[in-house]
Each structure stands twice: as C-alpha cells, then as structure tokens.
Amino acid sequence: MAPMQLQDILYSQGFGTRRICAGLIQQGHVQVDLGAGLVDCDDPLEEVDAHEGRMYSVQGVRWPYHAKAYVLLHKPAGYECSHKPSSWPSLYTLLPPALRQRPQKSAVQGVQAVGRLDQDTTGMLVLTDDGPLIHRMSSPRHHVPKVYEVTTDDPLDAKQVQRLLDGVVLDDSPKPVRAAACEAVAEYHLRLTLTEGKYHQVKRMLAAVGNKVVGLHRSQIGEMPLPEDLQPGQWRWITDEEMKRLTGK
C-alpha cells in the first residue's frame, strides 16, 4: 500500500472530515504503531504506509486500519436493520461511530448490512462497505446459504418439512420457493437453510405449510457459523479465514 497522509488515513476510517482528523492529530489525540508500539504523531501531513491491520489510537480508542471494513454483528431482538428506523432503534447504533461514518462514493455513509433481519429476529449479520461483496452475497444467483433456527408455534411433522423442501408458493413469487435444506431438530425447532432472501420469507414459508414462527435466529452464513463467544449486541472484525468460509473463496 502506498503511503498516505495521516489525516487521509483517519478520514478513510470514519473519524470525521479531513479537517476534523487534522485537528485530532494536531491536538495530540492520535498515536500510530510504526513498528515498535504506539507513538505520538502531531503532523496531519505525515505520510504513513497504510498497512492492513496497522494499529492506531484515536482519543484512546485502538483501531486497526482496514481498507475495507468487514464485521460480524450478533443482532439482538428489538432493532431494525435501517439507518432511519421507524419504530425500533437502529442496529447501527450498536456499532462505533467510525464504522457508521466511513466515507463512501454514494450518498450513504458507513457499513451496510448484507441482507436484513426483522426487528424480532436475532443472529448473525455481516456488515461492510464493500459494495461488490454486498451484491455477491445478497444475490440469489450466487446461492450463498443462510441457516435459520426456527421456533414454531405448533409441533412440526414430516409433511411440513417435505413441503418446505419441495417448495411453497408465496404471493409475490410465481415459482415455488424451496428450502435448500430443512431438518426438524426437535418438536418445535426447525433448522432451515435458504439461498435467497425475500421479505419475511421464513415466516411466510412456515405459514404456507400451516405453522407459525414464534422465534427466529440466523445461526450461519455460508460455511461460517455465528461465533459462540459473540454475545447479542456485540460486533467484531472478520478474519481472513472467516471471510473464506463466508464467501467460499
């Protein structure tokens, strides 16, 4: 990576306009790990190699440099997947301001969720500012599997499971919508794998076979399960190995 001015690096990471970033640097609020630990830097125009993962400290907050942000979030219930929610808090309030303010070429700033979850649905979300990745993982053409743990209102039976595998007709789809995999784990617990994401799809599919969803949790995307140590409301950076498991590449 070619050297960048320090104020440009902070700007790219979402710490504010270049003017704000320059002020943070001049006021002594920025440190950079140049190879032997964090050191004070007070020149906004100082050029630093923008190495992936290089550690910075901004107002006491340690921050690794990433040209593109890829994070996991364990979504709790009661949050909307929207920057402008209508009835519930935005899940983006669970993220630090820098992730919400990362500059983008479009009018929308910050990381975006790869596929939405309803406010009452919990589980795994990927958020990124990588537009092509969002398109690739969201498009049904690429068949990225997403696994859901479904709690049902009525007991499950083999006929319902088979109908979900064979396909059910939804009111906005002329073709039957099929589960890629479907397993009754327990009497009221269904594990359902989908490769596309329609509006309220799981709830509508269960309604189509005569049952009702009373609890919904996304437990896996691609070959990457939700980490057990990531608690509801917590987020963390995605590792390179996890990215391969998410995308299959």
User: Which CATH number belongs to the domain containing residue 76 in this structure?
Assistant: 3.30.70.580
Task: State the Cα–Cα distance between residues 224 and 237, nearest whole angstrom.
Answer: 14
From the candidates 118, 120, 129, 130, which is the catalytic residue?
Answer: 118
| 215 and 237 co-located in one domain | no
Q: In CATH, what number is assigned to the domain containing residue 45?
A: 3.10.290.10
Number of alpha carbons in the 13 Å side-chain half-sphere of residue 30 = 25
pLDDT digits 0-9 by tens, 124-146 = 999 999 988 988 888 777 788 99
Specify the pLDDT at position 90.
96
* Residue 164, domain extent: 145-221
Are 134 and 228 contained in the same domain? Answer: yes
If asked whether residues 116 and 83 sit together in one domain, one would say yes
Residue 194 scores a pLDDT above 80: yes
Q: Does 118 participate in catalysis according to the annotation?
A: yes
Chosen domain end from 35, 64, 93: 64
Query: Given the DSSP bridges, would you call strands 122-128 and 213-221 parallel, antiparallel or unpaired?
Result: parallel
pTM for this structure?
0.92
Does residue 1 surpass a pLDDT of 70? no
Q: Is 60 left (phi over 0), alpha (psi -120 to 50) or beta?
A: left
* pLDDT (tens digit per residue) in 154-186: 999 999 999 999 999 988 777 899 999 999 999
Do 123 and 234 reside in the same domain of the chain?
yes
150 and 216 both lie in a single domain: yes
> Residue 176 sits in a domain of what CATH number?
3.30.70.1560
- Among 16, 44, 64, identify where a domain stops: 64
Considering the domain architecture, whether residues 59 and 75 belong to the same structural domain is answered as no
Domain count, the chain: 3
Kindly state whether residues 86 and 36 are assigned to the same domain.
Answer: no
Q: Based on the domain organization, do 179 and 208 belong to the same domain?
A: yes
Q: Are residues 121 and 177 in the same domain?
A: no
Per-residue pLDDT tens over the stretch 74-121: 999 999 999 888 899 999 999 999 999 999 877 778 999 998 899 999
Give 140's contacts (C-beta < 8 A, 6+ positions apart).
195, 196, 197
Q: Which residues contact 220 (CB under 8 A, 6 or more apart)?
A: 124, 145, 146, 147, 226
Say what percent of the chain tops pLDDT 90. Answer: 78
Quote the longest CA-to-CA distance of the chain: 69
Q: Are residues 114 and 228 in the same domain?
A: yes
